[in-house]
């Protein structure tokens, strides 16, 4: 994963954050998901007056991509904060980690937590989500 693509993922995650629908928490999140073929799918969090139907930015990106026929992914960048500006590092919730686990190789899939293009951290999914349950556990 070279620096150029990391920068592009962070730019696209920040752009997607601008489309977040988060009137209840006031916390906007954006994500940019990279496929094996180099396509990028964006996602934002989409909240709901009934609260529980809320969809996180990461899952929005995954569901958009899977709905377009994508199944193979390399990395996702995530940004989040109040007032439309990334502040601290926003780490994916447990439900989003489980969705990543469904479609990604935990040993190689990279989760990039970013504030801007010069402040980011990179983790392997296996380190964020150890001893997880996945498709192969069902035989």
Q: How far apart are CA 60 and CA 79, in angstroms?
A: 14
Take residue 64 and report the two structure tokens written for it.
């958009």
- On whether the CB atoms of residues 69 and 104 are closer than 8 A, the answer is no
Nearest-approach distance from CB 46 to ligand THU, in angstroms: 8
**Closer of 43 and 74 to ligand THU (Cβ):** 43
14 binds ligand THU, rule: CB under 6 A: no
Q: Is 37 a catalytic residue?
A: no
The 3-state DSSP class for residue 77 equals strand
**Closer of 6 and 78 to ligand THU (Cβ):** 78
Q: How far apart are CA 26 and CA 73, in angstroms?
A: 29
Using CB under 6 A as the binding criterion, the count of chain residues that bind ligand THU stands at: 15
Q: How far apart are CA 47 and CA 22, in angstroms?
A: 5
Q: Among the candidate windows 24-32, 66-74, 114-122, 131-139, which touches ligand THU by CB under 6 A?
A: 24-32
Q: What is the dihedral of CA 91, 94, 100, 103, to 10 degrees?
A: 180
42 binds ligand THU, rule: CB under 6 A: no
22 binds ligand THU, rule: CB under 6 A: yes
Take residue 118 and report the two structure tokens written for it.
């010069």
Point out which residues bind ligand THU (CB under 6 A).
Answer: 22, 25, 27, 29, 45, 47, 54, 56-58, 78, 90, 92-93, 96
The residues that are catalytic are 58
């Amino acid at each position: 994963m070279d620096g150029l693509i990391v920068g592009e993922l962070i730019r696209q995650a920040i752009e997607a954050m601008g489309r977040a629908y988060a009137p209840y928490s006031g916390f906007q999140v954006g994500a940019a998901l990279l496929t094996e073929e180099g396509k990028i799918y964006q996602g934002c969090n989409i909240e709901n007056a009934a609260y529980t139907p809320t969809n996180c930015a990461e899952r929005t990106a995954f569901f958009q991509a899977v709905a377009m026929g994508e199944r193979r992914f390399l990395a996702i960048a995530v940004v989040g904060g109040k007032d439309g500006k990334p502040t601290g590092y926003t780490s994916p919730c447990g439900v989003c980690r489980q969705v990543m686990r469904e479609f990604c190789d935990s040993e190689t899939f990279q989760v990039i937590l970013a504030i801007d293009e010069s402040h980011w951290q990179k983790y392997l999914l296996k380190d964020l989500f150890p001893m997880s349950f996945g498709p192969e556990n069902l035989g």
